[in-house]
Structure 1
Amino acid sequence: MPTNLPPLSAIRAFEAASRHLSFTKAGDELGMTQAAVSYQIKLLEERLGFQLFTRKARKIELTDHGAQLAARVVDAFSALRSAFEDVSELNAAQLVVSSNTTFAVNWLASRLFHFQMQNPDVGVRIVPYGPKADPDFSESDIVVSACKAPPKGWVAHEIVQADFTPMLSPGLAESIGGIKTPEDLLKLPLVDPQDPWWPMWFEAAGLEDVDLSGHPSSRMGSQALEANRAIAGQGVAILTPYFCKMALENGQLIQPFDLTCRADSESWYLSYPPALRTSRKVRLFRDWVTSELERDGMPIHGKMAVVA
C-alpha cells in the first residue's frame, strides 16, 4: 500500500531549511518564525523516525538520511515551481475570447491587428459561436455575447446596444425604382422575415400588423451572415447600423430610413469571471475595446457591473 505523505507544511519547511541550512532563513522565505520552522522539522523527524539535521551552536547540518531526502525533495519542489511558472506564463500570454459571430466578423476581425501591435506579448484566440450555440463561458477569459446575459457573478460591460433598421444593396433598391416609403420594402425579399425586429420596426414606422407570412423563410441567426446576403442583393436585412458602418460608407449597403428601434433587453456585453477582474490581459483587452468604441463615437452604455 502507498505510504501517506507527511504534512505539506513540514515538507516545505524541510525543503527550505535544507537549501539554506538555516531555520531562520527558511522562515524568512516562508513567512514563518524560526521556532515555527524548527517545530515543523521536529514533526517531520518524528513522523520519519530519524533525524534530518544535526543541531550545532550556530548552524545546522544535514544528517546522511537528511541529505539523501533533501536531494529528492529539493528537485521535486524545483520541478513543481517550474510547472507552475510555465503554466502561469502560458496563461498570461494567451487570451481566449468567445465572441458572438457578428462581433467577431464585423468588428474584431478588422481591428484585432491593432491590439496585437500594441500588446505583442499577448496572443489572442477568438472562438466565435454561431446562431444556435451558446457562448463558451467555461473555458474563456472574456466573452462577448449578443442578447444573452452573462452568468451570475460575472463582471459585465454593456458595450453596444442592439439598435436596428432595414438595409439593402443599392442595386436591389433600384430594381423597384428606389425605396421611398416603408411599404416599398414589402415589395422585396426580406432576409429572415421571422425576425421579431421586423414587426417592431414596421410598427414604429406606422405600419401595424404587417403580414410577412408570404415571404419565404430564410433564418440566418447572425447579422454578419444576413448583412452578406443583403450586400449580395438577395434581400432586405434588418441590421444594427454600427456593425455595418464600413458597408454603408463604401456603398455596399444603404439605410433608406433614419428610423432605428431597439429592444430594451438586447445588447452586446463584454464579460469575464470575477477571478479575472485584475488580470492584466483581460484589462488590456477590455480597455482596448472601450477605446475603439469611443473612437467610433459610440458611448459605453453600461458601467461595469456584477451580474446578480
Structure 2
Amino acid sequence: MSSAVFPSPTSFRDRRHQALQHEQQRERRLWGTALTAVVTFVAVSVALSTLIPRSPPAVSLPPPAAIAIDLAPLPTAIPTPPQDVPKGPKQTQAQPDPTPEEPPKIAAPPSPAPHPPAPVPKTETRKIVKKTVVKPVSHKEKPLPLKEAPAERTTAPPSTEAPPAVTQASPSPGASSSHASRAPASWQSDLVARLERFKRYPTEAQRHREEGTPLLTFTMNRKGRVLSARLTKPSGYTLLDQETLALVRRAEPLPEPPDSVSGDTITLTVPIEFYVE
C-alpha cells in the first residue's frame, strides 16, 4: 500500500513568494529598459536640434524703383515750303514708224515636177522684201531703227545742261525734319535706360521708407563723359541725394548725342524718383 507525500503549507508559501519576487523583478527590468530608451531618444533629439544649424528664412527684397525722367520737349523743325523745280521739256511717246507694205507675192508658174514648188516663192519673196526696206533708207538722213528695237521712245531734243538729278534725289524737307526729331527721342530713351540700369535704392533709406524726387542737373560732352553734376532740387534725405549724384557718375560713359543735337557740351535736368512700393 503506497502513501502519497504532500508538501507542507510552509514550503508552498515559500515557492509562491519566490514566484512573486521573480515576477516583480522582471517587471522592474522591463520598466527600467523602457525608461532608458525614452531618455536616450530625448537626449539624442535635443543634441541633434542643437548641433544642426538652421537656415535663416529667405528675405524677399522689394523690386528696384523705376526712374522717371521728364526731359524738355524737343524743338520741332519748321517745315520749309517746297522749292519749285524747273520743268524740263515734255517727253512724248514716239509713234512707231510705219512698216512698208509688202508687195504681193508673185505666184510661180506650175512646174511639171511631181513635187510642189514650195521653196521657189519663198526665195523670191525674201529678195523683194529686202529691196523694199533698203530703198527708203537711201532717201533719209538718219537710218531707220531695226524691227527688233522697241517702238516706245522719246522725241525730246537733246539738252546740253545737266539734268536736275540732285533735286530729285534729295529728300523732302518734311522727311528730314521727321528724321531729326526721331534721333533725339531715341537718344533720350537710351539715356533713361542706362540711368535705370545703374540706379540703386539705398538699403537704409528703403528700410526707413525715405522717398523723394530730387532734380539732377548735369553737363556732358559729346563723348558721353559727365563734366559736372549738381542737385537743382534736393529730396530732403541725405542718402537719396548722395545716390542721385553718384548715379550719373556710375553710369558713365553715357550714350553719345546724335548730330542733330548741337553744341560741344549738353546740359540736362532729370528728375530721379525714389519710392517704396
| TMscore range, shorter length | under 0.3
The two structures have a TM-score, normalised by structure 1, of: 0.18
Q: Which has the larger radius of gyration?
A: 2
Higher share of residues assigned helix: 1
Higher share of residues assigned strand: 1
